[in-house]
Amino acid sequence: MSSYVPNRPVPTMIPGVVDGSMGLSADAEGNLSFHVSLRDSGDYVELILTEEHARLLGAQLVAARPDDSFLAPCSVGVRLVAPARM
C-alpha cells in the first residue's frame, strides 16, 4: 500500500476504468499535446501544455521522487463522439 499523501485536495474519482491509448504531438510554438483516446469510440481528451510547462513536467517524470505539490497549468479539450451511456 502506498504512503502517498497529497499536499492538495484530491478531486473526487470517477468510478470505472476504460481501456485507451495515448499519443503526443507538438505544434510550431512548442506546445505539447497529450491525446488520450478512450476505447475505439472516437471519444478523447486532450491536455495541452506550453513548452515551459512541458519541460517542468518532464523533469518531474524523471525525478527519483517527484514533488507532490507540482501543478502545471494546461488547457483541456474533450471530444465526445459516442452516444451518452447511462
3-state secondary structure of 3: coil
Average pLDDT over residues 7-17: 60
Q: Where are the domains of the chain?
A: 23-79
pLDDT (0 to 100) of residue 66:
75
pTM: 0.67
Contact indicator for 74, 33 with CB cutoff of 8 Å: no
DSSP string, 19-44: -EEEEEEE-TT--EEEEEEETTSS-E
pLDDT tens-place string over residues 41-86: 888 999 999 999 999 999 988 887 778 888 889 999 998 886 655 4
